[in-house]
Amino acid sequence: MAETLLFNALREAVDEEMGRDETVFVIGEDVGHYGGSYKVTKGLYEKYGPLRVLDTPIAENSFTGMAVGAAMTGLRPIVEGMNMGFLLLAFNQIANNAGMLPYTSGGNYHIPMVIRGPGGVGRQLGAEHSQRLEAYFQAVPGLKIVACSTPYNAKGLLKSAIRDKNPVLFFEHVLLYNLKEDLPSDEYLVPLDKADVVRPGKDVTILTYSRMRHHVLQAVKGIEAQGFDPEVIDLISLKPIDYDTIGESIRKTHKVIIVEECMRTGGIAAEIIASINDRFFDELDAPVMRLSSQDIPTPYNGRLESLTIVQPKQIVEAVEKMMTARV
Amino acid sequence: MVQERILPTFQATSAKIDKEEGLRLYEDMVLGRYFEDKCAEMYYRGKMFGFVHLYNGQEAVSSGVIKSMRPDDFVCSTYRDHVHALSAGVPANAVMAELFGKETGCSKGRGGSMHMFSKEHNLLGGFAFIGEGIPVALGAAFQSRYRRDALGDASADQVTAAFFGDGTTNNGQFFECLNMAALWKLPILFVVENNKWAIGMAHERASSQTEIYRKASVFGMPGYEVDGMDVLAVRDVAKQAVARARAGEGPTLIECLTYRFRGHSLADPDELRSQAEKDEWQARDPLTRMEAYLIEQNLADDAELKAIKKRIEVHVEDAVKFAESSPEPSPEELHRYIFAED
């Protein structure tokens, strides 16, 4: 066991997979000499050389497309989005080519690539650097979308993503890179498609992901103090969603609250609510409730910024409201 | 009226070609032409649908470049991709069946006219959006260099050719990829098929510098202007560029001055191009030109050329029969291929 920071857990995952498979390479802005904007690739340029840790010009759509071409011809690229928001500039390559080309080509090609980097709302980074692209990308067929939330799952998930035969959008959170955790010294993988039951409980299912997992866990004490026993599930996979785990929980609690950092309109929760209604409506004792970020560009001002995202206190209040509502 | 560009003079004698090679190029161009004429017929008869962009008039580019490459090299095309696929060796049956939307098509009927793919023939695809194929081609070229220089595989000397039109050369991906290809000395040919028109946008109305080959110089890359109606001229330049790329000397930009004899697609009323312009280019038909050359050089006689045309005509007819008699994709397989299969 070794206490490891989240960004180092990711670095270990990349390093181990590059050592294991020589077709794995990293491509992106400042991944080489600079070591990555959040130091996820620190030292790898020195270890693997300039072609396996390729510093690119600032040309997101083209270097993402280049990774698609490399993946089609047998390599396994890991694209680093210096900030995931910049991948809006690569939307075409991610959606049309990474996502749809395997299908459009009738299975001629598959695209084993990972697109990873920091997403989410940071501290006063302004609207453009505070994006939650998982909501924009969830409609693209052919993509897998994963959000890590702890050093343990970050490492195991990234290793699985690198080994996957499909394009995986891998979301890290800009405020979670310095989380610490003891990691096993032996190699381990975490499956891409399984939600994580973080805290078993019987009264209400709380679905969340990424940084909001930690807001929910902060809220748990307040919820317990009110005498309720919540089940907290970290979705991990945002596409496809693990409805087996969700269904099992709903059959136990019959109540669901979703806490997300993406905006309310067209968000991850919007999709999950629709699917829960399709699949588990008869199990529900109350309408599914969602706590989302507000539908506004993230403001710079710190106080306004904190008002746009869900705070632990709101989660406690939401649980209380749902538990005390007359059914 | 913008003055017509003067084509560079090409010394036919400089490109020695033997009978076998001459007839191979000619046959490939005839296949391209007859295949596309048949597509028009089938489209109007309601056998194929969607946007269908035909290649008539531009055959010298596809044959001149792709036939100068090896079968294990990579080809990356656009929405006007049927003939590139044929030159790359994808069977006419599989291309026609794709156009008919059949399971036996090279993309299993999932792609259509603008999305021809064949991993077996290293055809990276038909890419329907402007410019999006160039980065993908760059990735294939990077892969060759990666295998050679990062993994030490000396046999990894495959070259990639990316085809695109004049309209694409005003798109950012064109410039971004020229920069990266030159920066990393990637084995790639950027082949511009300058047919003067981006649907209805005349090239000189869209480009401040109309001579596209000159854009190579700012990246320190060789750029060539070539008569795209002359398969031997294209072949000559392509061979040099392929040799440079294979030797690790980096990319080349080739601007082929050519013309499409039909509208942008079969849905284009083609109202903007003047008859005089069309007539002028029609007179440069690359097939007629190659026929004259083969006869003049005593490489073939009229009867041999007629026999080739007859054979290709039958070959294309057979492709139609194959496509017509092929099964549709099964509805049970609607969701297949979204994700990779084990």
Residue of chain A with shortest Cα separation from B335: A103
The verdict on a CB contact (< 8 Å) between B179 and A57 is yes
Cα of A188 vs its chain's centroid, Å: 19
Of A183, A213, A228, which closes a domain?
Answer: A183
State the nearest Cα–Cα gap between A142 and chain B, in angstroms. 5
For residue A188, tell me if it sits in a domain.
no
Task: Give the pLDDT confidence score for residue A249 in this predicted structure.
Answer: 98
pLDDT band of residue B11 (cuts 50, 70, 90) is low
Q: Are strands A230-234 and A204-208 parallel, antiparallel or unpaired?
A: parallel
Q: Are A130 and A122 in contact (CB under 8 A)?
A: yes
In chain B, domain spans: 27-320
> How many other CB atoms sit within 10 Å of the CB of residue A278?
9
Transcribe A283-298 into DSSP letters: G-SS--EEEEE-SSPP
Task: Looking at the complex, report in whole angstroms how far the Cα of residue A64 sits from the nearest Cα belonging to chain B.
Answer: 8
User: Which region, left, alpha or beta, applies to residue B309 given φ > 0 means left and ψ of -120 to 50 means alpha?
Assistant: alpha
- Within 50-109 of B, beta carbons closer than 8 Å to A belong to 74, 76, 105-109
Helix H or strand E segment including A144 = strand A144-147
CB proximity B44 to A under 8 Å: no
Within a domain: A86 = yes
Closest chain B C-alpha to A303 CA, distance in angstroms: 39
Q: How does the average pLDDT of chain B come out, rounded?
A: 96
A56/A129 same-domain check: yes
Q: What is the pLDDT of residue A327?
A: 58
- What CATH number is given to the structural domain containing A168? 3.40.50.970
* Radius of gyration of chain B from its Cα atoms, rounded to whole angstroms: 20
Residue with tokens 């746009």: A308
Tell me what pLDDT residue B5 has.
Answer: 77
Q: What pLDDT, on a 0 to 100 scale, did the predictor assign at position B15? A: 65
CB distance from A112 to chain B under 8 Å?
Answer: yes
What's the CA gap between B123 and B90, in Å, rounded? 8
- Whether A191 maps to a domain, the answer reads no
Measure the CA–CA gap between A143 and A175, rounded to whole angstroms.
Answer: 25
Interface check for A227 against chain B (CB to CB < 8 A): the answer is no
Q: What is the mean pLDDT of residues B207-223?
A: 97
Q: Is B340 on the interface with A (CB under 8 A)?
A: yes
Task: Work out the pLDDT band at B13, boundaries 50, 70, 90.
Answer: very low
**Euclidean distance between CA atoms B342 and B335, whole angstroms:** 15
Residue A138, in any domain of the structure: yes
Q: Is residue B227 over pLDDT 80?
A: yes
Say yes or no to pLDDT of B2 above 60: no
Q: How far is it, in rounded angstroms, from Cα A273 to Cα A308?
A: 21
Q: Is the pLDDT confidence value at B342 over 90?
A: no
State the Cα–Cα distance between residues A137 and A94, nearest whole angstrom: 9
Same domain, A224 and A267: yes
Alpha carbon distance A78, A168 (integer Å)? 10
Q: B300: distance to nearest CA of chain A, Å? A: 39
pLDDT (average), residues B41-46:
96
Structure tokens at A313: 């206190």
For B181-192, how does the pLDDT look when each residue is reduced to its tens digit (9 = 90+)?
999 999 999 999
A70 and A210 together in one domain: no
Residue A155 and residue A49 share a domain? yes
Report the pLDDT value the prediction gives residue A184, as an integer from 0 to 100: 97
- Specify the number of domains making up chain A: 2
Shared domain for A162 and A39, answered yes or no, is: yes
H/E run at residue A178 = none
Residues A16, A164 within the same domain:
yes
Clarify whether residues A62 and A16 are in a common domain.
yes
Counting as low any pLDDT under 50, the low residues of chain A are: none
Summarize the confidence of residues B205-234 as an average pLDDT.
97
Question: For chain A, what's the residue count?
Answer: 327
Could you give the C-alpha distances from A79 to A63, A82, B267, B302, in angstroms and in order? 8, 9, 39, 56
Question: Where is A171: in which H helix or E strand?
Answer: strand A168-173
Instruction: Verify whether the Cβ–Cβ distance A57 to B74 is below 8 Å.
Output: no
Chain A contact for B339 (CB, 8 A cutoff): yes
**Which of B 269-328 lie inside 8 A of A, CB atoms?**
none
Choose among A316, A10, A312, A297: nearest CA to A149: A10
Hey, what CATH topology would domain B27-320 get?
A: Rossmann fold (3.40.50)
What CATH number has the domain bearing residue A205?
3.40.50.920
Closest CA to A26 of A80, A86, A75: A80
pLDDT tens, residue by residue, B120-179: 999 999 999 999 999 999 999 999 999 999 999 999 999 999 999 999 999 999 999 999
Burial of residue B103 (CB within 10 Å: 0-12, 13-18, 19+) is middle
* Pair of tokens at residue B23: 């007839």
- Do A252 and A213 belong together in one domain? yes
Among A137, A157, A183, which residue terminates a domain?
A183
**Cα–Cα distance measured from residue A121 to residue B336, given in angstroms and rounded to the nearest whole number:** 37
Across the strands, what pairs with A208?
A: A234, A259
Task: Report the alpha-carbon distance of residue A141 to residue A100 in Å, rounded.
Answer: 6
The tokens describing B54, both together, are: 């035909």
A92–B129: do the CB atoms touch at under 8 Å? yes
8 A C-beta contact, residue A21 and residue A77:
no
Active site amino acids of A: 60, 129
Rg of chain A over Cα atoms, rounded to whole angstroms, equals: 20
Cβ distance B108 to A110 less than 8 Å, yes or no, reads no
A189 lies in some domain: no
Full domain range(s) for residue A157:
2-183
Q: Which residue of B has its CA nearest to A57?
A: B180
State the sign of the Cα–Cα–Cα–Cα dihedral B329, B333, B338, B342: negative
CB environment B150-189: b (16+ within 10 A), e (fewer): beeeeebbbbbbbbbbbbbbbbebbbbbbbbbbebbbbbb
